[in-house]
Structure 1
């Protein structure tokens, strides 16, 4: 329930974000800048899961960290509800920080409810948890999106704050049901480590304040002084983290080989998320201007498109779970590599489908809503073949030393993909509107080629994976 309300607030705000950024009654930015802001925001949410996990492991423990996260998210949404640009950007940063803190730890707490990995109730518990995620994501655009688009943008953001407040209240009231293990700090910082961490943090904060103080004081500050560094961080950090793990001398040859194989999956996932996450920006902005957002003559808010994916996930996830088991019993279940390549091909195919409504719109007509539904459908099938499998293979291929941290590395694939989108769409670095025919074709072809490449080199990757199948 806590995760359901957090997802309600998060996905409601996310559905409104790109529309608010371009709206005359909002910040009235161009589509390229709006897409860049949206992509940087998403990349930050997933990037911050790494320090979020570290903070729980070393400072507060998962349970208290989730409480702090809920408070930060709620304050962030309240800042978004204030009709001022400065407050809006502060709110985005706070929601990203809070989401990073929460996302890294609440799944861990679900695991704590059961007696180890072999507890037969564990998978059922995580299934209920996953339903909660998608239920919140489904309802949010219908409620928050409708209010934001049709009544008042800032009232929509305020509803997101209310959702997180409800989630936080029931989390605190239901705390007696949680496992005491969730309150433990697994590896607390020593006094010396605390002092060193605080010192380093203050030094970096002072550098940032001094730098932006000079830039702002000389009248040169623009939004891109924040966007471009954050974009580059989102690209550099994943490379640094994987390189550090790969070069760790504590790893044996088998573990190092598995990390080398994992790089293939990581790059494939980054390409996938680069296209998939444009469902909330490029596709949404296209729908707002150039789609006929009606069904049987009944008009609906553009933000409602963001409910299509979660409802399809809830409907199709059990089907896919059954399908893999059914194929496995017959010795025909596709390997992880084949599932990954299928996900890439499907997300590429979704953008090939996107060419049809683009072509209709360029002809001076509005594209039918069902074209966009078809795109989301292809992306959902791709997500179901790649995302759960990616989580599974991450746990299987993680070196013992990095068993917990590797889940954070998986999230960094989202960060890398969204950072590429931010870089490509930002007008300040020669970016383009990503809903152009040529660019959509290029992205679609890139995903399909990447999927085919993964499939063609499956023998090499299998060899590197060792005993992981």
Structure 2
């Protein structure tokens, strides 16, 4: 019954009327909500590594670069890891709409906790933001899919691209506002501004929910009361075990940041493996759904490699911007956090071009397959790190290189992102079995978790070698090899996708 209800909800778009660039009006609500949420997230992210590595005399935490970048990678991984239980909560308890509202509230609280100038409050705030983001991220993307009439609606990919522009509009403004205030005035005031941004996004969502599809309120697989009690007991038991274990470690005086980073990194790699094994063993899925899931695994692995490199824009690239890049251009000085605005600026300029390009190529029968788009994304992200290799070589001996190096790196990464990320969101909703509708969007975000956890482990193992010339070279070559491999096996992946194009 739950599956039938979901299918009906997905295929029944909201009533026609006013549109948003030719798309359902509810897209405007989700666009604005995600824009403000990303403003808060990317604004805080622009400051995070810089704050952790800043000397205590400058108001920072005084961490070593390798440790700070690993903390950043694990934090970012947890943001996306928690999207999986966020989708599960929507499917089994609350529905997507209520889950998004709850997530936005928790994120807002987390940012305001960062504004309190105490280390304990800072790390507690990071935990709140990760939890709230997990509730919000998977479900708001699923709600975009609910606005369209079935998985093959020709407007669908374009709708996700427009939605992606909302993400990047917020991401563009955030470093300019929050980054400037945090670096030039006070770190914690910058974090407080991120909380204000999330409050605006939450208000926008609550005011515009009437324009969303009815499917967004559906609890697709409601959990019986006895099962709820069993789940809560198990969750409470595991939580008590974790608290007791870490209490012993802390009281024994042996606790270091490694006790948090290593277990979370290993879990971030192991959990996606467990999730795919569980779905593939599910006898409720028919042969066609299982084939689609096999095809989806290819996209997942490719995305993990992509995000492993891409998400270092806020860690190793941020350190390079602060330590090795001149912060003036044509006589104009600016904070190093402003480099974080380059990627979203490029996306806002290029996303409409790509949205038009896919449609134009489709009309001519020349639109690249989803597999080829992913392969192109991997080749571009690999090339960006080869450019970083050259930039690091140019910065040898403490030379401050021109900002144009990072401008080129972010441009190459943006082209790769536009061929992979919005298409990945769309193909996830297309290939997802109805039973795992919201959860599959959480699985898509697990690719970010896996990639970031690999990056964290690499950074911890390498220590002071993090961010060196060969560090960028090896990862760049690995991504290019992965892209070539995906292109070689593209026909096999297309066959596994069945009737999804």
- Mean Cα deviation higher: 154-163 or 336-345: 336-345
Counterpart for residue 189 of structure 2: 155
User: What's the CA shift for 1:175?
Assistant: 4.7
How far apart are the structure 2 equivalents of 1:229 and 1:142? Answer: 35
Counterpart for residue 424 of structure 2: 390
Output aligned runs, 1:153-302, within 5 Å.
153-175=187-209, 177-178=211-212, 182-302=216-336
Equivalent position to 1:418, from 438, 449, 452 = 452
Output aligned runs, 1:337-376, within 5 Å.
337-376=371-410
Note closer, same or farther for the CA distance 1:62–1:247 as it changes in structure 2 (3 Å cut).
Answer: closer
Counterpart for residue 23 of structure 2: none
User: What's the CA shift for 1:77?
Assistant: 0.8
Equivalent position to 2:48, from 10, 13, 17 = 17
User: What's the CA shift for 1:178?
Assistant: 4.9
- The answer (yes or no) to whether the contact 2:85–2:442 under 8 Å persists in 1 is no
Query: Which consecutive unaligned segments of at least 5 residues does structure 2 have?
Result: 1-31
How far apart are the structure 2 equivalents of 1:306 and 1:316? Answer: 17
Counterpart for residue 454 of structure 1: 486
Counterpart for residue 36 of structure 2: 5
- Please give the TM-score of this superposition, normalised by the length of structure 2: 0.87
- Mean Cα deviation higher: 160-169 or 280-289: 160-169
- Please give the TM-score of this superposition, normalised by the length of structure 1: 0.93
- Mean Cα deviation higher: 128-137 or 267-276: 128-137
- The answer (yes or no) to whether the contact 2:53–2:68 under 8 Å persists in 1 is yes
SS at match of 1:435: coil
- Mean Cα deviation higher: 217-226 or 443-452: 217-226
User: What's the CA shift for 1:64?
Assistant: 2.6
How far apart are the structure 2 equivalents of 1:451 and 1:178? Answer: 37
Note closer, same or farther for the CA distance 1:195–1:301 as it changes in structure 2 (3 Å cut).
Answer: same
SS at match of 1:362: coil
SS at match of 1:185: coil
Counterpart for residue 76 of structure 1: 110
Output the aligned Cα RMSD.
2.3
Kindly provide the CA deviation profile for residues 17-57 of structure 1, in whole angstroms up to 9, marking residues without a partner as x.
11111111211111111111111111111111111111122
User: What's the CA shift for 1:253?
Assistant: 4.0
How far apart are the structure 2 equivalents of 1:113 and 1:450? Answer: 34
User: What's the CA shift for 1:289?
Assistant: 0.5
Note closer, same or farther for the CA distance 1:168–1:391 as it changes in structure 2 (3 Å cut).
Answer: closer
User: What's the CA shift for 1:412?
Assistant: 0.9
User: What's the CA shift for 1:68?
Assistant: 1.9
Counterpart for residue 175 of structure 2: 141
Q: How many residues align?
A: 467
Query: Which consecutive unaligned segments of at least 5 residues does structure 1 have?
Result: none
Counterpart for residue 342 of structure 2: 308
- The answer (yes or no) to whether the contact 2:379–2:484 under 8 Å persists in 1 is yes
